[in-house]
Amino acid sequence: MEQYAIKGGNPLVGEVEIGGAKNAALPILAASVMTDETVYIDNLPDVRDTNVLLKAMQGIGVLEKRTGRHSVTLNAAQISSLVVEDENIKKIRASYYLLGALLGKYRQAEVALPGGCDIGCRAIDQHIKGFKALGAEVWIEHGLIKTRADKLVGSHIYMDCVSVGATINVMMAASMAEGQTTIENAAKEPHVVDLANFLNSMGARIKGAGTDVIRIKGVSRLHGSEYTIIPDQIEAGTFMFAAALTKGDITVKNVIPKHLESISAKLLEIGCEIKESDDAMRVVCSKPLRHTHVKTLPYPGFPTDMQPQITVALGLSTGTSIVTDTIFENRFKYVDELTRMGADIKVEGTTAIINGVGRYTGASLSAPDLRAGAALVVAGLAAEGFTMVDEIHYIARGYEDFHLKLQALGAQIELVNSDREIQKFKLKVG
Ligand code: EPZ
């Protein structure tokens, strides 16, 4: 079983290039089935979730040509099936983006019920409500969500909660509906805006993405496009917190600083220095971390996908911090693992009360999901001695070359596959 072997204690120093945003890439890939013309996508992250989605798209007849590690051309003129049942597709959340995309173009789709990280109840009622408001029937049968419409007609849809996935799905289907759709209480995340920009580059007529009211005038066809995906806000944030935890000095390059505002605000509060330029952020941390309080919120609030990373940092701070996750109710499962490193954290429902302990000691840990897995690795890099992290397949869902990028910053981390390799690593790093 692949694991990360880590020897902590080195400050991480240097520059790291941030890749394309996974959570933008997934809906953009799905939306490329909405045209018969060829689509070229650049800055595509080479991570497990995007690769699983691409394979499922090939399975329904999408022609894919990799033009480089981070670029692909896709052509969906010869779709052979509207049933997406690839064996791996149910493991990823974004499988359901093919519902909105195929429903919009073909008025019909069947997709295996989505999985994704086990971080809480991940309802899909708002997706279903949106599709129904556009005139589609939606039902669940034999593990598939099925949807069909004789015609899709624009509608006024109020989302009962702010949902990234539902906003994206409805936006895709509505782009090819007849007439105008208004989505109220829409999600404002950068990846929602990126998808809207991509759809507009294909001829869609979407206005207001990035605000809580999105207006879409349906069009009858979409055309090909060349598009570059935005940088990954969460990958960048994870490296910024790695600088904080290891008392390092890291510059994240190829980022959009505006997307990182809530993250840098918290880093400043806990005592880091930040230098911002047009497309880079430098985080320097030389003092003991201070405590603070955090509440995760939809964008532009502090992202739930950064909650484990800030919690592991606050675990090392002076004083008591309170972190509340208002988005997912089960996203503190990694706290038991962190306790093995000496953290003093009590979880009550969706709130963690963190008494900073000043130091972690290395331990054997298991990654419970993608972001928590990355946060535990960073905790290991800050800890005294050796840390092992297993179940790292979760991390590969959303971080490209995670350990290689960390190594380039001076981290002592290696991907190991056997006891022998672990012993070799221990001998090497001493
Ligand atoms: C997206 O998940 C991301 N996934 C998640 O990133 C991210 O944590 C989440 O948005 C919040 O930012 C992808 O983009 C593939 P939601 P999604 O719909 O779309 C409730 C990562 O680590 N809700 O915005 O599934 C839901 O239960 C992953 O990269 C309903 O009640 O999230 C949750 O409490 C993990 N009904 C809240 O809304 C619905 O129909 C937000 O969920 C839909 C959602």
303-342 confidence digits (pLDDT tens): 999 999 999 999 999 999 999 999 998 899 999 999 999 9
- Residue 120's pLDDT is 67
- Token representation of residue 283: 């985080």
Among 246, 388, 368, CA closest to 313: 246
- Give Cα separations from 126 to 5, 99, 138, 161, 400 (angstroms): 42, 13, 12, 8, 31
Residues 6+ apart with CB under 8 A from 420: none
Among 323, 366, 327, CA closest to 347: 323
What CA–CA distance (Å, rounded) separates 55 from 240?
Answer: 32
- Full DSSP string of 310-329: HHHHHTTSBSEEEEEESS-T
pLDDT in tens, 116-174: 667 666 789 999 999 999 999 999 998 889 999 999 999 999 999 999 999 999 999 99
What CA–CA distance (Å, rounded) separates 73 from 141?
Answer: 33
Is 163 near ligand 1, meaning CB less than 6 Å away? yes
117 is catalytic: yes
Atom of ligand 1 nearest to the CA of 304: 8
370 CA from centroid of ligand 1 (Å): 14
Backbone angles phi, psi at 23, to 5 degrees: -75, -10
Is 327 near ligand 1, meaning CB less than 6 Å away? yes
Atom 39 (ligand 1) nearest CA: 124
Give me the mean pLDDT over the 93-97 stretch.
86
Amino acid (1-letter code) at residue 101: A
What CA–CA distance (Å, rounded) separates 188 from 197?
Answer: 13
311 CA from centroid of ligand 1 (Å): 20
60 CA from centroid of ligand 1 (Å): 26
- Give Cα separations from 110 to 26, 113, 115, 144, 247 (angstroms): 18, 9, 15, 6, 49
What CA–CA distance (Å, rounded) separates 67 from 46?
Answer: 13
Is 19 near ligand 1, meaning CB less than 6 Å away? no
Atom of ligand 1 nearest to the CA of 114: 25
Provide CATH 3.65.10.10 ranges for the chain.
3-18+231-429, 22-228
- Residue 121's pLDDT is 67
Is 26 near ligand 1, meaning CB less than 6 Å away? yes
So what CATH class is 3-18+231-429?
alpha beta
Q: Does domain 22-228 correspond to CATH entry 3.40.50.740?
A: no
Amino acid (1-letter code) at residue 380: G
**245 touches 381 (CB < 8 A):** yes
- Token representation of residue 76: 């969906």
- Give Cα separations from 248 to 106, 255, 340 (angstroms): 51, 19, 24
Confidence of residue 114 (pLDDT cuts 50, 70, 90): confident
- The proportion of the chain whose per-residue pLDDT surpasses 70, expressed as a percent, equals 99
Residues 6+ apart with CB under 8 A from 152: 103, 104, 107, 134, 135, 136, 173, 174, 176, 177, 178, 218
Atom 14 (ligand 1) nearest CA: 23
Is 311 near ligand 1, meaning CB less than 6 Å away? no
